[in-house]
Amino acid sequence: MNIWRVNLRSQKLSIEAEPENWKRLGGRGLCAKVLLDEVPPTCEPLGPKNKLVFATGLLLGYNTESDRLSIGGKSPLTGGIKEANAGGTTAQKMGALGIKALILEDQPEAKGWWILHLSKDGARFEPAGSTENPGTSLAGKGVYEAAEILQAVYGKSAALALIGPGGEMRLTAAGIQNLDKDGVPSRIAARGGLGAVMGAMGLKAIVFDAPLWEKPPLADPEAYRLALKKFMSILMALPQTEAYRDYGTAAMAQMCNWLGALPTRNYSSGTFEEVENISGEMLRSTILDRGGEGKPTHNCMAGCGIRCSNIYAGIDGKTVVAPLEYETIGLMGSNLGMPDLDIVARLNWEVNDLGLDSIEIGAAMGVAAEAGYMEFSDAESALRLVDEMRKGTPLGRILGCGAVVTGKVLGVTRVPAVKGQAMAAYEPRAIKGTGVTYATSPMGADHTAGLTIRAKIDHLDPMIQADLSRNAQLNMAGYDTLGACIFAGFGFAAAPESIRDLLNAKYGWSVGTGILQELGRECISLEREFNKQAGFTPAHDRLPEWMTKEALPPKNAVFDVPEEELDRVWG
C-alpha cells in the first residue's frame, strides 16, 4: 500500500512508499500523524496550507466490519484538528488501487470546479464546470443528482467522494459524501466542515476507478481465518448486534428518553412527549407496513453482518432517504419538537442533498427556533429554513455554518456546542460521562468520540465519569485507527484478543492485547498536540456555561463535573 499525494495547484500526482513510522497507523491515527507533521496548526482552514487526508484503516479488506474511511484536516468549524469517518465503498476502492492514504495539498490558482479521477493509470483532472453555467456542469448540483451523473460517466463500479452545494459555498457544516453498496451517496463524513475544505480546493468530486481488488497476501492466512471466524461468531451472537439489525441506531431514542437525555426543543428538556412516534420501533414498523423500496435493515459496506442501516420509504413505497439514523432523529426530530418520521426523513434528504451535517444543521435550526426564526414542531417553517440554505441566502449561509455561528448572529446564548461543534443527540447533563467526552475530545462535541451511555453506572454522579470517558475515548480512537465500525466494538470488547490476533495474522506483527488503547493513545496524543499548537488550552475543554447552571427536566440535572476532573482526563 502506498501514499498518493495530489497537488491541486500543479495537478500533479506523486506516489510514495509508506514511511516506516506510518506502518502501524491507519484511519484516524494516520490522519493525525500527517496533519501534525505537515499542516501548520495555526493556518487558515480554508487556505492553501491546509490538507485533506483520506486514510484507510489497519483492518481494511478482510470482512472484519472495518472498511470505514477516515477523512482528516484542520476544521473550519472548530479551528482544531478534525477526523470524520464514514462507511460505504470508498475505502475498499482505495485498497484496490493500493492507496493507504490520499493526501490533497494546496489550491488551484483559477476559480472553477474539478473532478479528480484516480485509477491504476494515475490521476487526471477533468473539469466539472462552473456555478455560473449549472446546466452543463456538476457545479451547483445537489449530491444525489451529481452522483447519478458521475456514475453514468464512470460506471457503477467506481467509488465517489463528493460535496454538495454546501461545500461549494464553503459552509462550515459541510461534509463529504460516499456511496453505499447500492450506489447511493448516503455515507457521509459529516462532522467538522471538511466538505468546505474540499470546496476550497475546487474539488466537486473524487472518482476512485478501481478494478476488482486482488487483496494483498496475509502474513498467516490460516491464523487470520481462525481469528476472523471466532470474532464474527461472537459478534453475531451479541444482543446488541440483534438490536441494531432490527431497529438500527434509532433504537437509542427510547433509551435516551428513559434516561432523560433525549435533546428536546433546543436542549430545554431531556424527554419528548411523542418519542414513540420517532422511535426505532416506529421506524421499523413503518418501513415494514409500507413495503415497497423500504428496508428495515441494510448494510452500508459490502460484507457487513450487522446491517444497522435502513431505507426509509414514503407512503407510496418510494425511497425518501437512506438511512434515517438516530442522530438525525434526535437533532431534527425531538430537538425541533418534530413528532413525524416522514418530516424528519424529508429534512434529512434535503440536508444530505446539500451536503451538510444533519447533526450540526439540526442544532443550528434549534437555535434559530429559540430566536423565533421557526416554530418548534412546525414542518413548514423547518423546510423554509432548509430552503434558505439551498438558495444561499444570508440566513441560509448562517445556518449552514452551524449552531455557534447561528447563535452569535441571532443573539442566542443557549447553544449546545463545544469547541465550535454542535453536540450530538445525547444530553450531557443526563449522561455526564458523554459530557466529559464532549468537553475533552480533541474533536469537540463528537458523538463517536467516546459515548458512555451503555456503562452500568449512575450517569448523574459527577465524580465517576472522568476515567470512564478517557477509556471510551481511547477505545474509539483505536477503532477509528483500525477502520472499524463502532458497533464492531461490541465484539472486540467481548473478545479483546481478536484485535491482537487479526493484526498479527495480517501483518506478521507481535502486538499484545493492549494494542487497541495503544493505538488510541497515540492518536489522541497527536491530536492534542496539534490543538495545543493551534492555541487550544484546558479552558477549551469545557461545556457551555449555561449547562452548568440550567437544570434539565425531568431529572433537574446540571453538568456539575468539576473542572479538576475534566483536566484529569488527559492531565
Is pLDDT above 50 for 135? no
Residue 472's nearest CA partner among 331, 569, 359 is 569
Which pLDDT band holds residue 64 (cuts at 50, 70, 90)? Answer: confident
What integer pLDDT is reported at residue 134 of this predicted model? 46
Tell me the per-residue pLDDT of 443-496, one tens digit each, with 9 for 90 and over.
Answer: 999 989 999 999 999 999 999 999 999 999 999 999 999 999 988 999 999 999
Rg of the chain in Å (alpha carbons): 22
Burial of 219 (0-12, 13-18, 19+ CB in 10 A): middle
- % of the chain with per-residue pLDDT over 70: 99
pLDDT of residue 132: 52
Instruction: Look at residues 204, 167, 196, 203 and name the one whose alpha carbon lies nearest to residue 73.
Output: 196
Catalogue the E-assigned strands of 148-294: 159-162, 176-178, 187-189, 203-208
Residue 115, all three cell numbers = 473532478
pLDDT of residue 131: 53
Instruction: With cut-offs at 50, 70 and 90, classify the pLDDT of residue 211.
Output: confident
Three-state SS string over 88-110 comes to: CCHHHHHHHCCEEEEEEECCCCC
| Count of alpha carbons within 13 angstroms of residue 151, beta-carbon side | 19
Question: Nearest Cα to 60, choosing from 20, 103, 94, 22?
Answer: 94
Position 1: which residue type?
M
From CA 363, how far away is CA 31, in angstroms rounded?
Answer: 27
Q: Whose grid coordinates read 407512503?
A: 315
For residues 123 and 15, the answer to whether their CB atoms sit within 8 Å is: no
Half-sphere exposure of 96 (CA within 13 A, CB side): 18
pLDDT tens profile 112-131 = 999 999 999 999 999 997 55
pLDDT surpassing 70 at residue 223: yes
Q: Could you give the residue ranges of the DSSP H alpha helices within 238-340? A: 239-247, 252-258, 280-290, 326-332
430 Cβ partners below 8 Å, 6+ apart? 259, 260, 261, 270, 459, 460, 552, 555, 557
Q: How many CB atoms lie within 10 A of CB 512?
A: 10
Mean pLDDT calculated for residue range 266-270:
99
CA–CA distance, 363 with 344 (Å, rounded to integer): 14
Q: What is the pLDDT of residues 483-512, one digit of tens each?
A: 999 889 999 999 999 999 999 999 999 999
Torsions phi, psi for 396 (to 5 deg): -60, -40
pLDDT at 394 over 60: yes
Whole-number average pLDDT of the chain: 96
CA torsion angle for 31, 37, 39, 42 (degrees, to 10)?
110
C-alpha cell at 527: 491530536
- Any alpha helices (H) in 17-142, and if so which ranges? 27-38, 90-96
Domains observed in the chain:
2-208 (3.60.9.10)
Average pLDDT over residues 195-210: 98
**CB of 116 closer than 8 Å to CB of 205:** yes
Query: What does the DSSP 8-state code read for residue 166?
Result: H
If you average pLDDT over residues 278-285, what whole number do you get? 98
Q: How far apart are CA 528 and CA 426, in angstroms?
A: 24
pLDDT for 205 equals: 98
Q: How far apart are the first and last CA of the chain?
A: 36
Q: Are 352 and 319 in contact (CB under 8 A)?
A: no
What is the pLDDT at residue 76? 99
Which strand (E) or helix (H) includes residue 235?
helix 221-237
Whether residue 5 has pLDDT greater than 70: yes
DSSP H helix total and E strand total for the chain: 21, 17
pLDDT at 346 over 90: yes
Instruction: Find the DSSP H helices in 291-340.
Output: 326-332
Distances (CA, A) of 165 to 140, 162, 194, 244: 5, 10, 13, 32
Q: Are 484 and 59 in contact (CB under 8 A)?
A: yes
Q: Which of 18-32, 88-102, 121-135, 426-440 has the lowest mean pLDDT?
A: 121-135
Predicted local distance difference test score (pLDDT) of residue 66 = 85
* Lowest pLDDT segment from 189-203, 293-307, 360-374, 467-481: 293-307
Residues 565, 469: contact at Cβ < 8 Å? no
Q: What is the mean pLDDT of residues 416-434?
A: 99
Q: Which three cell numbers stand for residue 426?
A: 445525547
Task: Quote the cell numbers at residue 63.
Answer: 470482512
Q: Is the pLDDT of residue 320 over 80?
A: yes
Helix (H) or strand (E) holding 16: strand 12-17
Closest CA to 177 of 385, 25, 358: 358
Where helices occur in 441-562 by DSSP H, the ranges are 466-482, 488-494, 497-507, 515-534
Q: What is the pLDDT of residue 62?
A: 85
150 with 162: CB under 8 angstroms?
A: yes
Contact present, 444 and 78 (Cβ < 8 Å)? yes
Vertex 521, ends 506 and 67: CA angle to 5°?
40
Q: How far is CA 260 from the centre of its chain?
A: 25
Contact 75, 82 (CB under 8 A): yes
Distance, CA of 405 to CA of 520 (rounded, Å): 31
Gap between the Cα atoms of 91 and 86, Å rounded = 9
Residue 539 φ/ψ, nearest 5 degrees: -65, -20
Judged against a pLDDT cut of 70, whether residue 375 lies above it is answered with: yes
How confident is the model over 138-165, as a mean pLDDT? 96
Question: What are the φ/ψ torsions at residue 136 (nearest 5 degrees)?
Answer: -115, 20
Q: Where would I find the beta strands (DSSP E) of 322-428?
A: 417-418, 421-422
Residue labelled with grid coordinates 491504476:
120
Set of cell numbers at residue 143: 449530491
pLDDT of residue 280: 96
Helix, strand, or coil here: 169? coil
Q: Please give the distance of CA 409 from its chain centroid, rounded to a whole number.
A: 26
Contact in structure between 294 and 315 (CB atoms under 8 Å)? no
Q: pLDDT of 543-558, one tens digit each?
A: 999 999 999 999 999 9
Check if the beta carbon of residue 131 is closer than 8 Å to that of residue 168. yes
